[in-house]
Each structure stands twice: as C-alpha cells, then as structure tokens.
Structure 1
Amino acid sequence: MPTVVEQDDATYTTVLADPVHFNVKHPLYHSWTLWYDQGGKKTPSAQTWSQNLKELVTFDTVEDFWGVYNNIAKINELQSGANYHLFKKGIKPMWEDAANAKGGKWVVQMPKTRNNTEINDYWLYTTFEYEDEICGAVMSTRRAFNRIAIWTRTCGKREVCERIGYQFKEALGINMQFEFQAHSDASKSGPYNKDKYVV
C-alpha cells in the first residue's frame, strides 16, 4: 500500500473516527493510477497492447485507495490473461516510459491453488522503504499461475535493488526465489543477462 502523509491536527475527524461526518482524508505521498488490460492468446504488438491498456482511476488518499480496492474485481476473480497495473501518476506501465526506461522489475510467479485467495493479500500488502525508487506494480493472472512484479526506476543501484527485493519477499511472506530483471534485458529477444539479482 502507498505511503501515508502523517497528520497531527486534533481538529481533523477521519473516516476511522466517524465514517459519516469525517472532514479530512489521509493523503498519500504520491498519486497512483490503476490501469487494466485483458491480454489475448496471441502476443500483441506494442501498439495493440497500448491500445488495449485502459486507465481506470487515479487516487491520492488512503480513503480513496480503499474505495478503489473494495470496488474492483479481486485478483482471483480476474479472467486468465488479465493484468492490473498500479503506477505513480504520470508513469505509464510500459518499458518505454522515461521513468521506467533505466529500471527493472522484481518478479515472483506463483502456481494457482484451489482456493487462490491469498493472491489478493499479496497484492494488498506490498510496501517498500525506498518508495521513490518504485514506479509501480503489476499483477498478472494466467491459466496456471499468478505473477506479481514490482517495477523500479533504476537497476544499477545493487544495494537499493536488493533491499527492495528483500522487502518484497518479506511483505509477501513467500519462501520462493525472487528474481530481478532489467527492462533493457527483458525487451531483447534471444539470450540476455537474465535475473541480474536474486533474493
């Protein structure tokens, strides 16, 4: 969940204190935009993929975050091939965006289970210390697995990248290998320097 700006004025009434007559919302440090796309069976071109990408909503407070989260389909309810992209406002969930161009992503792929509701918690509880380094997150659902990825602004700061990877792993509480891949490698066909960092 995005970071909250602290407020200490006692005259504020929050939704937690009074869900009907509250007079203030809890602002986030950044505005966030939720995007959605429903991938097809065939690998789309960059142009058709971009046309299929839909900007759903932008929010900048805790209350609006919960309003969005509680009123969209949960991850385990999405059709196979669907993707949610939650990115800072002004950053498109594309390698070509200037904020993403020199970065990479931490990725973990999880096989689907019969219940498969834990994936909703994984999506919800992903938080980070180096928020300025985070561009966004992508949740993908496929026939046999779900994949969650955290996109970073840079890939050359090993200590920061690995710290984000460890925080990602700790937040999800999954005992699996998490792998980092630079976008510049992911966009190439053929052999590349896969999994630059592993935690």
Structure 2
Amino acid sequence: MTDVQNTPAAKTVLTDAENFDVVHPLNSEWTLWFDNPSRRTNASSWTQNLKEIVTLATVEDFWGVHGNVTKAVDLPNGSNYHLFRKGIKPMWEDPANANGGRWGIQLQRSVGGKANDLWLNTLLACIGETFDSSTDVCGAVFSNRKQCFRIAIWTRNAMDKEACEAIGRHLKTVLNGEHQLEYMPHSDNSKSGPKVLYSV
C-alpha cells in the first residue's frame, strides 16, 4: 500500500515553472526547421541553408520553443519556418512528401500580428493531431514574403481527395473560416505554376 502522505506532490509547469517534473508527451514528435531563401543561389545551396532547429516531444517543449523564437511575422523577408513530423524533411523530394501537396493561403501584410495567431493555431492543430486525417499531415510552413505572408499544410497523398478535403475543411476552421484555401500537388510545380486540385 502506497503511503500517500509521504509521496511528493507532482510539480507541474503551473506550480513550478523552473523545476517541474511532469511533462505532457505529444502523440508524435515534431521538428522545427528554418531557411532563408534570399540567401540561396541554387538548389544545393538551399539544402545547405535549411537548418534543423529543435525536435519537440512534449507540450512543454512546444511552448518553451514557441515563446523563445522569433515571431513568424518578424522573420527576415524571404524566410520560412517549417514544423514537420520528426523524420520528414520539409522538401518535396522527401519520400513522405513526394506524392503529396499543400493547402495554402496568402495573407496581406496589413494583417500584421494576426498572422502570428493564425500560424500558432495551425501549429496547435498539427501537434494536437486535430485533423480527421492527422496521419496524412506531414507538416506546416510559414513564409514571410515582401508582399504577403503564407501559411501552408503539407499532406502525404494528393490523390486521396477525401483525406485532403477533410484536412482543408478543418484548416479553414482553424484559420477562423475567413480564407479561401487552395490545394496544389507538389508534382505540378511547372514553369506555368502549380494547378489547384481542390479548394474549400
């Protein structure tokens, strides 16, 4: 029989922000990446410029990192954050992404800090596995461009219409239902630009 009176109380981040001993594991581990395309000269230098920052295994990891990295809208122009499942690189050539595509939106720069909130909502939907087809979600990307901000969700299989549309519908609610979303397969990035496969 356990002596409850002599069992030390669990210390959570809420009761002791520096010495807590209780953590909350994520269902999957996620890796945060960063790249700055404005410094690229060719495809190989892009790969070299892609930096793996940290892998997140717990809720506490996520909030610790989120609170201590540069806010998405404050990234240098041309830069990207990528949060992908551990083991998946944020590039089309990765086997997990090769047959997939992405849901994406563009936000006017005038939305300012609201873009940070939408990015956070997107991240929470990913690490919280709230999508109906969560295992089809490979990762999320935030892009800071001179004319706009972009948020995208990458999926595994562009031809799985049911899973893709379910992810798109949920992403739309995550983004407050205010934005038209379009899905483009990675394989269709021709010179004329990718074609929209689905929209919600």
TM-score (norm 1): 0.87
Aligned residues: 185
Measure how far apart 1:189 and its partner are: 2.6
In the TM superposition, what are the counterparts of 1:118-133 in structure 2 within 5 Å?
118-126=114-122, 127=125, 128-129=130-131, 130-133=133-136
Alignment-derived partner of residue 141 in structure 1: 144
Deviations along 1:130-173, one digit per CA (max 9) or x if unpaired, are 22111000100011100011000111111111111011111011
Q: Which has the larger radius of gyration?
A: 2
Measure how far apart 1:22 and its partner are: 2.4
Aligned in 2, Cα 1:18/1:110: closer, same or farther, shift over 3 Å?
same
1:149 maps to a residue whose letter is A
Q: 1:104 aligns with which of 76, 101, 118?
A: 101
Alignment-derived partner of residue 51 in structure 2: 54
Alignment-derived partner of residue 196 in structure 1: 197
- In structure 1, stretches of 5+ residues that fail to align are 1-10
Supply the distance in 2 between the matched residues of 1:191 and 1:183 (Cα, whole angstroms). 11
Measure how far apart 1:59 and its partner are: 1.2
Q: 2:72 aligns with which of 50, 55, 75?
A: 75
Aligned in 2, Cα 1:162/1:44: closer, same or farther, shift over 3 Å?
farther
- In structure 2, stretches of 5+ residues that fail to align are 1-8
Alignment-derived partner of residue 90 in structure 1: 87
1:120 maps to a residue whose letter is N
Deviations along 1:32-51, one digit per CA (max 9) or x if unpaired, are 1111111117x743211111
Aligned in 2, Cα 1:36/1:21: closer, same or farther, shift over 3 Å?
closer
Aligned in 2, Cα 1:26/1:47: closer, same or farther, shift over 3 Å?
same
Alignment-derived partner of residue 178 in structure 1: 181
